[in-house]
Amino acid sequence: MSPLASFDAPALIATKRDGHRLPDAGIDWLIEGYTTGLVAEEQMSALLMAIYLRGMDTAETVRWTAAMIASGERMDFTDLRRGGKPLKTVDKHSTGGVGDKITLPLVAVVAACGAAVPSASGRGLGHTGGTLDKLEAIAGFDVALSTARLREQLAGVGAAIFAAGALAPADAKLYALRDVTATVESLPLIASSVMSKKLAEGTDALVLDVKVGSGAFMKERDDARELAQAMVGLGAAHGVATRALLTDMSMPLGCTVGNAIEVAEALEVLAGGGPADVVELTVRLASEMLELATIDGADPAQTLSDGSAMDRFTAMVAAQGGDLGVPLPVGKCCETVTADRGGFMGHIDAMAVALAAWRLGAGRSRPGERVQHGAGMRIHRRPGEPVAAGETLFTLYTDTPERLGPACAELNGGYCVGDTPPLPRPLIIEATA
Ligand code: URA
């Protein structure tokens, strides 16, 4: 880092503390210095708090993101071919939700339509689920792919879901620090964190699923829209065609929340069934991805009914060492929650369900903790469906019996049964170009 060594951390912290713009070269120096250990944890903590309080303008955020990408490998798939023809690459990113298993059917649908999807994914932390934790519920599934294996799999199967690993390593360090310094909820820091990892994937196009509601990171639509616009702008600034959808996360997606139980639901969708909301979002996101990747004439919904998406999914699982012939794990202990009156199922709060699933052992409270692959819950009645008194509304699964009580307590008050069905909420709220 010698050409940049003229900066000093306290001066840069003071620049941001006093509400000024960080110089471009100073941003490069800070990110590289923090990744390599030259900039100390306490210095970066102070800077993050200054950014949290003062913000960063668009140009600063673009530079900050570029520096994060430069902290690791940026993949390049421009020479990817199948049958001698170039392959378009495209991915989607969700800002995180409850019951959000969409990546599983989605990558297979888009691959069946002729694009290649290199999907670097993460693990759950706190109340949100992680795609890697879900996939590891499949016996033998390996999320660590070398670049050579990834390229081979994309050229053959067309889809891979793998751990971000060497992509934007600055983000892994910064995210962990933000988590313990109350600096997570900063728009430029969230936007640069998400986009550094996704832009490092090197895809031609990217679709963002920005969640809004109680189970999302952004509770309000205006905040979600602002985040979506910032991320779309970062994509454009780095030459990647990017668009965003704002989608509802006030209720869980589908009828399952957990790890293995969500894989089972994704398999139902791939077999042409599954809950309507999971199918709707999968098909809509696939259409957006294919349009952005300029792949014409494909019919995402048909790949679910004709089995071609299922073929891609099973091929992807096999390529990554997974064995779908081994039954998915189910928690050894279960508890049901029943309706104490008849009527119609009302709203089901995504955060209450997420916390219940987390208490059951489906999520972790500290990075590195083991999750229970069989833990989670099934939602038997969706909002608006008729309910009879005494009927089972939820089934909770865990390997640890003492987790059942706290999980039921989290769920208590997170749903209601009423005399009339609630007004339906649109799943797809708006598209942000
Ligand atoms: N997801 C990320 O990857 N980073 C954030 O800052 C928030 C959500």
Q: How many CB atoms lie within 10 A of CB 197?
A: 23
- CB 210 less than 6 A from any atom of ligand 1: no
DSSP string, 263-318: HHHHHHHHTT-S-HHHHHHHHHHHHHHHHHTT--S--HHHHHHSSHHHHHHHHHHH
- CB 227 less than 6 A from any atom of ligand 1: no
Residue 258: helix, strand or coil by DSSP?
A: strand
The DSSP H or E segment spanning 120 is: strand 117-121
Cα of 200 vs centre of ligand 1, distance in Å, is 15
- CB 190 less than 6 A from any atom of ligand 1: yes
pTM of whole model > 0.85? Answer: yes
Cα of 184 vs centre of ligand 1, distance in Å, is 8
DSSP collapsed to 3 states, 162-223: EECCCCCHHHHHHHHHHHCCCCCCCHHHHHHHHHHHHHHCCCCEEEEEEEECCCCCECCHHH
Atom of ligand 1 nearest to the CA of 175: 6
Q: Note the pLDDT of residue 161.
A: 97
365 is catalytic: no
197 is catalytic: yes
Contact 370, 395 (CB under 8 A): no
In the DSSP assignment, the letter for residue 225 is: H
How far is residue 289 from each of residues 122, 138, 295, measured CA to CA in Å?
Answer: 20, 26, 9
- CB 193 less than 6 A from any atom of ligand 1: yes
What's the burial of 402, exposed, middle or buried (CB within 10 Å: 0-12/13-18/19+)?
exposed
Per-residue model confidence as pLDDT tens for the chain (433 residues): 444 457 899 999 999 999 999 999 999 999 999 999 999 999 999 999 999 999 999 999 999 999 999 999 999 999 999 989 999 999 999 998 999 999 999 999 999 999 999 999 988 766 777 899 999 999 999 999 999 999 999 999 999 999 987 899 999 899 889 988 999 889 999 999 999 999 999 999 999 999 999 999 889 999 999 999 999 999 999 999 999 999 999 999 999 999 999 999 999 999 999 999 999 999 999 999 999 999 999 999 999 999 999 999 999 999 999 999 999 999 999 999 999 999 999 999 999 999 999 999 999 877 778 899 999 999 999 999 999 999 999 999 999 999 999 999 999 999 999 999 999 999 999 998 6
Cα of 278 vs centre of ligand 1, distance in Å, is 23
Backbone angles phi, psi at 363, to 5 degrees: -120, -175
Tokens of 392: 């089972």
Which residues make beta-bridge pairs with 118?
Answer: 160
Pocket test for ligand 1, best of 121, 194, 212, 227 (most atoms within 8 A of CB): 194
Q: How many CB atoms lie within 10 A of CB 113?
A: 25
Please report, as a single letter, which amino acid is at residue 163.
A
Atom of ligand 1 nearest to the CA of 184: 6
Neighbouring residues of 422: CB distance < 8 A, sequence distance ≥ 6: 344, 346, 347, 383, 384
Residue 361: helix, strand or coil by DSSP?
A: coil
- CB 279 less than 6 A from any atom of ligand 1: no
C-alpha to C-alpha distance for 24 and 275, rounded to whole angstroms: 48
Atom of ligand 1 nearest to the CA of 193: 4
Q: Note the pLDDT of residue 1.
A: 45
Q: 146-181 in b/e burial notation, b at 16+ Cβ within 10 A?
A: eeeebbebbeebbbbbbbbbebbbbbbbbbebbeeb
Cα of 189 vs centre of ligand 1, distance in Å, is 8
- CB 172 less than 6 A from any atom of ligand 1: no
Residue 244: helix, strand or coil by DSSP?
A: strand
State the catalytic residue, choosing from 71, 121, 193, 196.
193
C-alpha to C-alpha distance for 115 and 10, rounded to whole angstroms: 47
Closest C-alpha to ligand 1, atom 6: 190
DSSP collapsed to 3 states, 319-354: HCCCCCCCCCCCCCEEEEEECCCCEEEEEECHHHHH
State the catalytic residue, choosing from 171, 204, 209, 248.
171
178 is catalytic: yes
C-alpha to C-alpha distance for 105 and 119, rounded to whole angstroms: 12
Neighbouring residues of 180: CB distance < 8 A, sequence distance ≥ 6: none
Q: Note the pLDDT of residue 400.
A: 97
C-alpha to C-alpha distance for 123 and 131, rounded to whole angstroms: 6
**Do strands 205-212 and 376-379 pair parallel, antiparallel, or not at all (unpaired)?**
unpaired
Atom of ligand 1 nearest to the CA of 190: 6
Closest C-alpha to ligand 1, atom 2: 194
93 is catalytic: yes
370 is catalytic: no
